[in-house]
Amino acid sequence: MNTDRHRSKGGFSYLCKSVSICGLVFLVAAIVTSVAAQRGGKAEPNRIEFKRGATSTTINGVVHGDEEAEYVLSARQGQRLTLKLTNVPAKSSCFDLKGPDGVDVGLEYDCNWNYSKALPATGDYFLVVSRPSQSKGTSRYKMTITIR
């Protein structure tokens, strides 16, 4: 009978240690996740997709301060990509476009509101909408994307 009591206490002690260790691991994981989030881990860009049979889509969004809205779309070499960005207040946000190799696609400016050209390569194109000024402020935008 004495051994049963020791086994019970030993089992309880082992359970307490296990729970304590699991709690400690969970706490460390939560702290690491919080620190990584504060460092501004980069989110995946939003994929632009077209409804079946459609060649155009419209995206509405908002950027605040120095935020950026990132998008990616797949296209083939030779297709004509047309982008039109309107916003409130007027010209409070603009876009930049990079090709599949990460290189600019020949935009005239760093800050653009319109684009229409045949694409030079097949792959994913990366589109970033941002405010031209990093000061405080908000821009509401509407972007129409057409591929033909």
Let me know whether 113 and 74 are in one domain: yes
Let me know whether 102 and 142 are in one domain: yes
Residues with Cβ within 8 Å of 31's Cβ and at least 6 positions away in sequence, in order, are none
Let me know whether 88 and 128 are in one domain: yes
Strand partners, 104: 98
pTM above 0.75, yes or no: no
Residues 108/91/94/68 CA torsion (nearest 10 deg): 150
Let me know whether 68 and 26 are in one domain: no
Let me know whether 57 and 14 are in one domain: no
Let me know whether 119 and 77 are in one domain: yes
In a 13 Å sphere around the CA of 61, the CA atoms on its Cβ side amount to 20
Let me know whether 135 and 66 are in one domain: yes
Let me know whether 26 and 75 are in one domain: no
pLDDT beyond 90 at 133: no
Let me know whether 74 and 13 are in one domain: no
DSSP states of 73-88 as a string?
A: EEE-TTPEEEEEEEEE
> What's the total number of domains in the chain?
2
pLDDT tens for 83-103 read: 999 999 999 999 999 999 888
Among 101-110, 114-123, 137-146, where is mean pLDDT lowest? Answer: 101-110
Domain hosting residue 93, numbered range: 46-147
Let me know whether 29 and 57 are in one domain: no
CATH number of the domain bearing residue 76:
2.60.120.380
Let me know whether 95 and 126 are in one domain: yes
pLDDT tens for 39-91 read: 455 679 999 999 999 999 999 999 999 999 999 999 999 999 999 999 999 99
pLDDT tens for 26-42 read: 544 444 444 344 445 56
Let me know whether 129 and 80 are in one domain: yes
